[in-house]
């Protein structure tokens, strides 16, 4: 891998790091979160760090692969959707933990889920492996959506 590709990957990984670091600003897992009625299927807290680390790595790899894929009319829409999903991903944390808005967070996670689905659909026309790499992300956000709904339902 040449230096240019390494720096490109690092730039995309830095974008995912910004999304991940939004958790450092808010009281993630703190008093308010602990006071909520937890759904029975809530993963243990130690699961989130490793899962998101792997997912963010895969999300950065996808962006890098799109960047170096052959030119196609689908390439720019793939980048636009990639940017939108990372923005929505970043916004989820302040809405959930900052605003403590369990209803509002459903809007963001819904938009994120739709965006990831569209990203997979568009990306498969650019790079099939990248579309496959996004499937675990879609699965995790699907679980998160169900979990968010349960938090909302259990904590009116």
Q: How far is CA 84 from the centre of its chain?
A: 10
The whole-model pTM stands at 0.92
Whole-angstrom distance, CA of residue 68 vs CA of residue 75: 10
Whole-angstrom distance, CA of residue 96 vs CA of residue 118: 24
In the chain, what are the domain boundaries? 3-154
Tens digits of residue pLDDT in 24-80: 777 777 889 999 999 999 999 899 989 999 999 999 999 999 999 999 999 999 999
- What kind and span of H or E run contains 19? helix 3-25
User: Architecture of 3-154 per CATH?
Assistant: Up-down Bundle (1.20)
């Amino acid at each position: 891998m040449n230096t240019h590709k390494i720096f490109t990957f690092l730039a995309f990984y830095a974008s995912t790091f910004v999304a991940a670091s939004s958790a450092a600003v808010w009281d993630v897992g703190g008093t308010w979160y602990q006071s909520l009625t937890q759904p029975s299927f809530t993963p243990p807290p130690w699961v989130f760090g490793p899962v998101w680390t792997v997912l963010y790595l895969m999300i950065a790899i996808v962006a890098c692969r799109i960047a170096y894929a052959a030119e196609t009319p689908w390439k720019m829409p793939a980048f636009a959707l990639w940017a939108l999903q990372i923005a929505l991903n970043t916004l989820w944390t302040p809405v959930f933990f900052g605003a403590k808005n369990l209803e509002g967070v459903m809007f963001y996670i819904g938009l994120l889920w739709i965006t990831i689905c569209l990203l997979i659909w568009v990306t498969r026309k650019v790079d099939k492996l990248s579309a496959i790499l996004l499937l675990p992300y879609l699965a995790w956000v699907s679980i998160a959506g169900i979990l968010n709904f349960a938090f909302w339902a259990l904590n009116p």
